[in-house]
Amino acid sequence: MKISRVSKTIHGKYILSDINFSIETGSIIGVIGRNGAGKTTLLRTMTGILDPTKGDVTIDGYSIFKKPQIKEQVIFVPDSSEAFKNYSTKEILTLYKNIYPKFDEEYFYGLMERFSLPSVKKTGAYSKGMKALFSLIIAFSTGARYILLDEPTDGLDVIVKKQVLQILIEEVAAKDVSIIISSHRLDELEFMANKIIMIKDGKVDSLYEIEEMKEMYKKVQLVFKETMPQNLKKEVTILDQTGRVYTVIMDRNDPKIQHMIEETEPLLFEELPLLLEDIFVAKLGGVSHVS
C-alpha cells in the first residue's frame, strides 16, 4: 500500500499536507500524534472514505479511488460506530459478506465463539467492549490485507483490551496482513508496533522502525554542579528539570554532544531506558521543545 503526496483540505484548511509513505504486509504500524494532528483523517483517506484534495492511495499499483474493487483489500474500524446499532448480528454479517467477497464466515463464527460473543437482534445491545470486539472480528474475517483501526482499545477494560490486542497480533503472525493503528496508548504500541508514523500538523514528522528510533536517541539523567550550560541546552531536548537534575533526550551517535557533557564534569551522567513516550514528547512538543 502506497500513500503518495496525499493532501486534504476541509473548509479551505489543510488537515493533511503532502503525506508520503508505504506499508508492507506483515507489520503492525502505529500512527501517533497530538489530538487534532490529522490521524483519523489520514486513516479515512487511506481507506477511500474521504477523497484526497491531492495525491493518491494505491494497492499493488491500483488507485483505490479509481478502481473500487481494490477496496476489498482494506477495512477501516472507527473508534465508535453507532451506524449499525439497529441491525442484527446476522444482518451485519450479510452486509459485509456482500462487500467483501473473501469474507470467511467460518472464521467469523470461530472468533465469536472464542470470545463468547452471542448473536443478537440489535447490536446496539452489545456493551462497549463487545462492540469493539465485534468490529474487530468482522474486520479480521473480511480477508482484507490492510486493517486500519482508530483507537481500538479506547474505553476497554484491561481484560478485553488484552484479548483485542492478542487477536490482532495473532492475525499478523498467522496471515500476511498489515494492521495500522492510531492510538494514544504509547505503552501498548511500544512493543506491539514495529513501525511508528508520527503526524504533526497534518504532516509526517517521522516514520521509523521502533528499534531504529531507539538507536538514534538516548535518554540520560544529568546532574550538573550548577545549571546546564546554555550551549548544551541547544543540543539536547530537556524532558524534565528539577533543580540541577535534568532528564534529556540526546542524539546517541553524536560524539560532540557526549563530549560537551563530559567537559562540564557532571555529577551524574547516566543512561535511562528510552520509551516511545519520551520520543513523542521530544518530537511533538515537550516541556521545552528545542530540536
Partner 1 sequence: MFFHIDTKSNAPLYEQIIQQVKEMCAKGLLIPDERLPSVRELSSHMVINPNTVSKAYQELERQGIIVTVRGRGTFISKETDRTIDPGRLKAIREFLKEAVIENYYAGYSKKELIELLEEVYEEMEGKTDEN
User: Is residue 258 within the footprint of partner 1 (CB under 8 A)?
Assistant: no
Residues 259-288 that bind partner 1 (CB under 8 A): 271-275
**Among residues 193 and 261, whose Cβ is nearest to partner 1?**
193
- When binding is defined by CB under 8 A, the residue of 7, 9, 27, 58 that contacts partner 1 is 27
Site string for partner 1, 144-163 (x = CB under 8 A): ------------------x-
- When binding is defined by CB under 8 A, the residue of 173, 230, 255, 265 that contacts partner 1 is 173
Which residue from 200, 284, 203, 206 is spatially nearest to 8, judged by alpha carbons?
A: 203
Q: What gap in Å lies between CA 29 and CA 209, rounded to an integer?
A: 9
**Minimum Å distance from CB 186 to partner 1?**
12
Contacts 24+ apart (CB under 8 A), 77-81: 77/135, 77/136, 77/138, 77/139, 77/147, 77/148, 77/149, 77/150, 77/152, 78/150, 79/40, 79/150, 79/151, 79/152, 79/154, 80/128, 80/131, 80/154, 81/131, 81/135
User: Is residue 192 within the footprint of partner 1 (CB under 8 A)?
Assistant: yes
* 264 grid coordinates: 562540564
- When binding is defined by CB under 8 A, the residue of 4, 53, 63, 194 that contacts partner 1 is 194
**Minimum Å distance from CB 147 to partner 1?**
15
Q: What gap in Å lies between CA 61 and CA 6, rounded to an integer?
A: 15
Grid cell 563530549 — which residue?
259
**Among residues 86 and 212, whose Cβ is nearest to partner 1?**
212
- When binding is defined by CB under 8 A, the residue of 25, 166, 227, 291 that contacts partner 1 is 166
User: Is residue 172 within the footprint of partner 1 (CB under 8 A)?
Assistant: yes
Which residues of this protein are in contact with partner 1, per CB under 8 A?
Answer: 26-28, 162, 165-166, 169-170, 172-174, 188, 191-194, 211, 214, 271-275
